[in-house]
Amino acid sequence: MRKPNQFRKLLGATAVAAALFTLALTAKSLLDFTRTGPEIRGEILASYSGYAALAMLRLAAWTWLIAFVLASVGSAVYLARCQSRGRPVRFWPALIWAGLALGILTGVAFLHLLLYNPSGIIASFLYDPAWLYPVWDLLSPGRLTLLKALILVLLGLALLGGILAGRRRGAVGATRFLTAYAIAGTALYLGVNYHPEPVSHGLQAGTTSARMNLLMIGSDTLRADRFSVTGYERELTPYIDTLSREGTFFTQAYVPVARTAPSLASMLTGAWPQRTGIRSNYIGDPETRLPVTGLPELLNRAGYQTAAVGDWAGGDLAKLSFGYQETDLPTDQWNLKFLIRQGPKDIRLFLSLFAHNPLGKRLLPEIYYLAGFPIYTEITYKARQLLSEYAAGDRPFHLNVFMGATHAPFGSEYPYYKMFAAGDYYGDSKFALSGLTDPSSIIKRQEQGKEAFDIQQVIDLYDGAVRSFDDQVRAIVEHLESLGLRRNTLIVIYSDHGTDLFERHTWGQGNSVVGDDPSARIPILIMDPRHRDGRAVHRTVRSVDLMPTLLELLELPVPESVDGVSLAGYLQQADFELELPAFHETGVWLGQIPGLQDNHLQYPPLLEMLEVPDKRTGTLAIKPEYRSRVIQAKDRMIRTDKWKLVYLPMRDGAEYWLFDIENDPLCYDNVIDDYLDVAARLKRELIEWMSLEPGMDWDGQLLQPQAVVNGKKG
């Protein structure tokens, strides 16, 4: 019987090492099974049992392939040693070397992620994060670079020694194999890690057109009060502060719903949620086709190139029918098939170590776009690439860059996550807000009061994330300027909503209308190169006003479907003034909100409300029979420059609370008894806005309660 040659032994040892690792990791993942996304009823999941099995096999196959590549390094080094020492290749030593290489290289990748993006580890970590802290304490960029360099040098020397020894001994096959392996390995390493700087060049033919371009840069969950122009004590946004000196910063801009999908839908169509039909993040497939025209579609018709770029937070820009010609985004974060394909935590963590590169983005997009894994520098890189392409053309463009840089769990890349945090903090939230890694824990955390959180650490993490966004804005805008496009480009800095940071007992966004509305308020900075008189506008405006404003600045007509009004006058006239009421309603969340009154109408449990109407697409949506109950349970408010009236749906009728914002900005004292005429006027306007709801009767008991409780503390 013919004995296997040395290359078969090496190949077999490498394959076996990868297979053993894959089997162990898959078994561990299934034993401690977890899944991303909201909890879904068992009967729905049962419909996807076959799909889930295939998805797990797919992840296992990729795990084996990556493990094989890593293990092959050890096999190649073992072959080189055998050549240098004139020894034959044996299976078991080859297997040991393959396993060592697999472990060492995986460990280095883990250390890299632990230093530069630790919240990416936390997003898929089943264990106590305190286990990581002693290792993290030893890490620094210099030490990690030295470790990588040492491994590369030793690897290079080993392969070179084997090649030279093989040539001396006349081992042609081994010499060719090691040479080819070294070349292929170098090419793979450079191909995965190579990020050429996007072309920066001067203005080219066609870009001098009088038509203005539009660049929008947004961060999910960015609070308006984190800027110097709004009085924040920390300097988190030095570059955006510089931009604001040449632009118009709206400090009192409000969204109608502090949830990503409904907020973006209203912002980019200029229509209230009652008209867009988008009231939550759980949108059925038919509802993704908006009944009103989006800004990108209008710009398409006007001859613009339009594109949206983002991470996991920006999926709605592709999901909803805004009309973007090009999208570099996940298909849908609220899709059961997408969530199933992300797999359980252990295997997901291993794949995350190697999937954040162009190859991983193409082949494992579910891992690349994992929620809670910051990839904003990669988004910025893609945005700069697109700007370089636009600069070489002769058409105006609209690019929307939207990233989750400031979204919970408030993790960020190095050095931002440690920039403001206390160096001696070693609690559970060292790298990211703890307890947000699976649906059940999120629900538990949502129901806990602020005493269960390390609030200062959470705030410090959030502030570091804001600082990271400022640097992304700098990179994009400075690249725009290097291309010569700044002079004819409108730049908008914005967010979809803010967030609560325990001001009223809880974290999250859009859960309440009680307080000074940090969730409902967003920053809007508009920079028009034709109007560079920097100013801060402290009057109340709405996100639905942004679309008509941009259309006017771009000298394009505003469609009749728009509910907002243009704010362009604030950029063009020093004495321009508008008196606008802002409206807002709460969103749907996972758990019960601390601080709600016992008799407050509640949403049904999310597990009970969600369904997958079309098993083929896997899109998650709220069941039709629950939608009216969700609408009825929403808190609502109307704000003006001076007053805020809130509407709270109770089991025994509605309560109205009135706050004097000028004298009570944090909205603690309900003064409705002292200003009944003001309350009546605002109530009429609020009811008129609520009456836009299709099929809802707002003249019934819901708005004419049996008992209205006044004079209470908010």
Task: Please report which confidence band the pLDDT of residue 591 belongs to, taking 50, 70 and 90 as the band edges.
Answer: low
Is there a contact between 378 and 360 (Cβ–Cβ < 8 Å)?
Answer: no
pTM of the model as a whole: 0.92
Q: Mean pLDDT, the chain, as a whole number?
A: 89
The pLDDT, as a whole number, for residue 174 is 85
Decide if pLDDT at 267 tops 90.
Answer: yes
Instruction: State the DSSP H helix or E strand holding residue 142, giving kind and residue range, or none if neither.
Output: helix 141-169
- By percentage, how much of the chain surpasses pLDDT 90? 68
Neighbours of 440 (CB within 10 A): 13
Task: Please report which confidence band the pLDDT of residue 206 belongs to, taking 50, 70 and 90 as the band edges.
Answer: very low
Decide if pLDDT at 149 tops 50.
Answer: yes
Assign 113 to helix, strand or coil.
Answer: helix
Which pair of tokens denotes residue 664? 């009570």
- Give 7: exposed, middle or buried? Use CB within 10 Å, 0-12, 13-18, 19+: middle
Strands (E), 359-449: 397-403
Decide if pLDDT at 704 tops 80.
Answer: no
Q: Where are the alpha helices (DSSP H) in 530-650?
A: 546-553, 568-572, 606-609, 624-632
Per-residue pLDDT tens digits for 592-635? 665 567 788 888 877 788 889 999 999 999 999 988 888 888 99
Query: Mean pLDDT lowest for which of 103-117, 303-317, 445-459, 484-498?
Result: 445-459
Per-residue pLDDT tens digits for 461-471? 999 999 999 99
Cα-based distances in Å from 600 to 507, 594, 655: 19, 12, 10
Instruction: State the DSSP H helix or E strand holding residue 610, giving kind and residue range, or none if neither.
Output: strand 610-611
Decide if pLDDT at 714 tops 70.
Answer: no
- Pairing type for strands 326-328 and 305-310 reads parallel
Please state the rounded mean pLDDT for residues 136-146: 97
Which domains are assigned to the chain? 6-193 (no CATH), 213-333+371-405+449-461+494-579 (3.40.720.10), 606-690 (3.30.1120.10)
Neighbours of 131 (CB within 10 A): 9
Decide if pLDDT at 443 tops 70.
Answer: no
Q: In angstroms, rounded to a whole number, what is the distance separating the alpha carbons of residues 671 and 679?
A: 9
The pLDDT, as a whole number, for residue 256 is 97
The pLDDT, as a whole number, for residue 43 is 56
Task: Please report which confidence band the pLDDT of residue 201 belongs to, taking 50, 70 and 90 as the band edges.
Answer: low
- Per-residue burial over 323-337, b = 16 or more CB atoms within 10 Å of its CB, e = otherwise: bbeebbbbebbbbbb
Per-residue pLDDT tens digits for 667-693? 999 999 999 999 999 999 999 999 998
Q: Where are the alpha helices (DSSP H) in 343-406?
A: 345-352, 358-363, 365-368, 376-391
Task: Please report which confidence band the pLDDT of residue 197 belongs to, taking 50, 70 and 90 as the band edges.
Answer: confident
Per-residue pLDDT tens digits for 79-93? 999 998 888 999 999
- Give 11: exposed, middle or buried? Use CB within 10 Å, 0-12, 13-18, 19+: middle
Strands (E), 341-481: 397-403
Q: In angstroms, rounded to a whole number, what is the distance separating the alpha carbons of residues 70 and 205?
A: 48
Task: Please report which confidence band the pLDDT of residue 501 belongs to, taking 50, 70 and 90 as the band edges.
Answer: confident
Please state the rounded mean pLDDT for residues 143-157: 95
DSSP code of residue 224: G
Decide if pLDDT at 708 tops 70.
Answer: no
Assign 212 to helix, strand or coil.
Answer: coil
Please state the rounded mean pLDDT for residues 105-128: 94
Query: Mean pLDDT lowest for which of 424-433, 438-447, 634-643, 704-713?
Result: 704-713
